[in-house]
């Protein structure tokens, strides 16, 4: 089998849609899975654009205040302190975009 894969890293491998697709016959289930993966990615992109717009609006309006975000995971820790609310929303949009990006592996028969 020949494998085509876009994206590298453990995070991409965990959420990759892996299909055995017979390109000649057009497997309906695989095409449906591709469609839903694409729709998932587009919805994530729209949420990202919305977060960018809201974050930019908050930043430009000069909404004051300070926010603190602490994210802990297995082997890493992210701490953002004294950040404007617009910056936090913008960073949340970046995280949504990273999590929902389109990533498919197709094995050609």
pLDDT tens-digit readout, 21-47: 665 555 677 777 778 888 888 999 999
* Nearest-10 Cα torsion for 24, 34, 8, 47: 160
pTM higher than 0.75 for the full model?
A: no
Q: Do 12 and 67 contact (CB within 8 A), yes or no?
A: no
User: How far is residue 18's CA from residue 34's CA, in Å, rounded to a whole number?
Assistant: 10
pLDDT tens-digit readout, 70-93: 888 888 888 888 888 888 888 889
User: How far is residue 48's CA from residue 63's CA, in Å, rounded to a whole number?
Assistant: 20
What percentage of residues in the chain have a pLDDT greater than 90? 10
User: How far is residue 100's CA from residue 18's CA, in Å, rounded to a whole number?
Assistant: 15
SS (H, E, C) 6-18: CCCCHHHHHCCEE
Domain that holds residue 91: 2-108
How many distinct structural domains can be found in the chain?
1
Reported confidence tier of residue 19, pLDDT bands at 50, 70, 90: low
């Amino acid at each position: 089998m020949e494998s085509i894969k876009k994206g590298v890293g453990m995070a991409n491998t965990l959420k990759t849609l892996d299909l055995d697709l017979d390109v000649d016959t057009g497997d309906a289930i695989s095409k449906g899975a591709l469609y839903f993966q694409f729709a998932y990615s587009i919805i994530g992109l729209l949420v990202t654009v919305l977060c960018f717009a809201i974050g930019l609006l908050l930043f430009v309006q000069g909404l004051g205040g300070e926010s603190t975000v602490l994210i802990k995971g297995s082997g890493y820790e992210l701490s953002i302190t004294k950040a404007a609310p617009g910056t936090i929303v913008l960073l949340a949009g970046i995280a949504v975009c990273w999590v929902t990006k389109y990533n498919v592996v197709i094995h050609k028969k």
